[in-house]
A and B are shown apart, each in its own frame.
Chain A
């Protein structure tokens, strides 16, 4: 809900946000400045965390983090409505005019209810479940019970990455349930013992169990060594050269401290 609300708010505010956020005179001059960051709801919570810590270091700079989704963030960045866009999927087509900075990588975990005895699933099985070919847990070696598969809504960055990494050319079946945020997918899987879903690895916690895919569990180590394949980049985007304040924030995110924060959140830092 929060996510949707942010999206709406972003749409409503877009024309109102003045484009003079490029606070070149800021930072050094000691004036208060604001950097607006908007986009992917998968990246948003981590950006918020980074913004909090950044605030301690540079009290005069406020980093304003908003959601809206990858696509909205990319558009807003192209229109220069926000200074930094966030995306949890690769840029395509016209969007490539943006400068992209990989701030970290995120695994996509296939999750089930903690009571589910299944520990491992192959990529083919994931594809079959979401493609509608396997509908019963029996086919995966458990009881005779329908699989309640949950997916994300069309346009979501996590869904886009999942389609690309796991589904390839297969379409997600129409009878699959749809939830509109990582949080609500997690909630469904945490309460329904027969559910299966996929989540950003950063939000997986004890309420759900992440399956290993083809024998490889989604750990930071396995992702870094390239064994776990369902990985996507988290991107910061700017239209041309970022302004002074935006540059400071991006530098902070890429610094040892910023990367440490992301690592603590379960994400995979870059350039270590």
Chain B
């Protein structure tokens, strides 16, 4: 009797392990797939002519995606400028000031914000933000500015929830100690709690960057997708992800491989961002 229980337990353990490993398998499959499709072109055209090339005309043999790499980072930075202060303020309020009732109301609405499909954000961007920018600042409205605004809202939930968690994990003793020393609430938050949660907050920014750089649909709709490196806030731009999605439908041969090469570059960037975020979190734990 007893033995059978143990066997069943072991079996369940094994099955669960297999399922858990399947996620690794998916990751591996995607890796192999993207690399096998994208790497040949790196050999053929040269790594530098792809990653540092300025001209993208894949049907004519130019595969430069440097402007898109730059553009991707520009909108990601823009999204952080828009989203990070808001998100941090939101997380601080939630963890330090909010009462139970506000929390019950605010937290789910943030999660809802994360659940809205990106195409909806893009649509709102096209219908409201783009015309507003066109009207008040000139230019076509399809711009870094519009993209940063839309992405800034989209990264809110990511940054807020991760910074919130790291703020909550600051031991209550820190706050009590600070308050006992006569510090005001704001002094405690600003000088004690926020610095203590610093690495977690940084990690949340980096993960927010990952979210922004990977976003595709909303970006295609509001960015204008021009190939040039933008020189003003009102210039249109094309990111790495939108390049793939825009041209996938019609691409054949080298053009198709070039899109996968774009994917390889994107993969490398996102992996580095994740590693960086993990590094920050680890540092917090070890300290």
Given the complex, which residues of B lie within 8 Å of A194, measured CB to CB?
140
From B142, which residue of chain A is reached at the shortest CB distance?
Answer: A177
| A155 with B255: CB separation less than 8 A | yes
Given the known inter-chain contacts A7-B250, A179-B225, please indicate yes or no for A191 contacting B220, CB distance below 8 A.
Answer: no
Number of CB contacts from chain A to chain B under 8 A: 97
Within 8 Å of chain B (Cβ to Cβ): is A148?
yes
| A71 with B224: CB separation less than 8 A | no
Classify chain B: how many residues form its interface, as a range. Answer: 35 or more
Within 8 Å of chain B (Cβ to Cβ): is A245?
no
A75 to B255, CA, bound (A): 14
Within 8 Å of chain B (Cβ to Cβ): is A205?
no
Q: Which of A1, A156, A192 contacts B250 (CB 8 A)?
A: A156
Q: Which of B2-10, B88-96, B240-248, B265-273 contacts A (4 or more CB under 8 A)?
A: B240-248
Given the complex, which residues of B lie within 8 Å of A195, measured CB to CB?
140
Within 8 Å of chain B (Cβ to Cβ): is A41?
yes
| A153 with B250: CB separation less than 8 A | yes
From B131, which residue of chain A is reached at the shortest CB distance?
Answer: A191
A176 to B140, CA, bound (A): 11
| A145 with B249: CB separation less than 8 A | no
| B225 with A178: CB separation less than 8 A | yes
Q: Which of A26-34, A62-70, A98-106, A116-124 contacts B (4 or more CB under 8 A)?
A: A62-70
A1 to B139, CA, bound (A): 25
| B140 with A148: CB separation less than 8 A | yes
The 10 closest A-B pairs by CB, nearest first: A7-B249, A155-B250, A69-B250, A148-B140, A178-B225, A174-B227, A174-B228, A177-B224, A175-B228, A71-B252
Residues of B within 8 A of A (CB): 55-59, 67, 119, 126, 130-131, 134, 138-142, 217, 220, 224-228, 235-236, 238, 245-252, 255
A-B contact pairs, 18 of them (CB 8 A): A69-B249, A69-B250, A70-B250, A71-B251, A71-B252, A146-B138, A148-B139, A153-B225, A153-B250, A154-B58, A155-B59, A157-B250, A174-B226, A175-B228, A177-B225, A180-B220, A180-B246, A192-B141
